[in-house]
Amino acid sequence: MRTRVAKLTSGVLNPFLVSLVVIILASFESAASVSDAIKWSLILTAVSVLPVFSVIAYLAHKEKLEGIFINTRRQRNKIYLLASVCAVAGCIILLYLEAPLVLVATFVAGLTAIIVFMSINLLWKISIHTAFAAGSVTVLTLLYGSVGALTVMLVPPIAWARIELEHHSLAQAVTGALLAPLIVVVVFHFFGLIGSAAPL
């Protein structure tokens, strides 16, 4: 039963779905209209979530990866590289289209996290599940305040699931959960989006 619950938790609260939810919520919070929010959501999903998921799904189908959620450290390198390219493309598109600053900051934070995690992955791996979850909680907290902060309740179950399934150690799960929020805070501060007068 513990394994089933862990697999369900890990599968449902995966980085792809978490990223999609954050993109949609950030778009609707920062856009001037509903139509703009839908536009940004579609654009950002098309240049970030869909390409990475599609490539991973294809490679997993061809048995070149162990599965959708890559647990073997060496298999993560190329996916990190693909994700970084997509993040760079997303940042360029957002700047060119003069997207809301919050969306630009969110993508820059994502790009920064990918580069940091890719560097760490050369010697060690961290939990991307917990990293995406904790980073997303931080973004939502900055955007929605105490309401967004409630999503922090999702982080411990995700960390437990990854450890229970023996995909990560406690240290790897905790490192992901701590490092991602730090990156978000630093990037948002750099963009002037943190503080009493920040235009979130």
pLDDT, tens digit, 9 for 90 and up, residues 44-63? 999 999 999 898 888 888 88
Domain presence at residue 156: yes
Domain presence at residue 197: no
State which residues form the domain around 154. Answer: 2-190
Q: For residue 3, what are its two tokens? A: 């394994």
In 3-state terms the chain splits into helix, strand, coil percentages (rounded to 5) of 80, 0, 20
Instruction: Note the residue count of the chain.
Output: 200
Domain presence at residue 96: yes
**What is d(CA 119, CA 49) in angstroms, rounded to the nearest whole number?**
21
pLDDT, position 139: 95
Q: How far is CA 133 from CA 33, 122, 155, 186, in A?
A: 27, 22, 6, 17
Domain presence at residue 100: yes
Domain presence at residue 76: yes
- The per-residue pLDDT for range 91-117, each reduced to its tens digit, is 999 999 999 999 999 999 999 999 999
Helix (H) / strand (E) containing 123: none
Domain presence at residue 39: yes
To 10 degrees, the CA torsion angle through 99, 105, 108, 112? -170
Question: Can you give the pTM of this predicted structure?
Answer: 0.89
Split into its structural domains, the chain has a count of 1
Q: For residue 105, what are its two tokens? A: 């900051």
Q: For residue 152, what are its two tokens? A: 């922090």
Residue 48: which of 12, 84, 97, 92 has the closest Cα? 84
Per-residue pLDDT band for 150 (boundaries 50, 70, 90) equals very high
How large is the average pLDDT for residues 68-85?
A: 83
Q: For residue 37, what are its two tokens? A: 């929010």
- DSSP label of 121: T
Domain presence at residue 154: yes
Domain presence at residue 68: yes
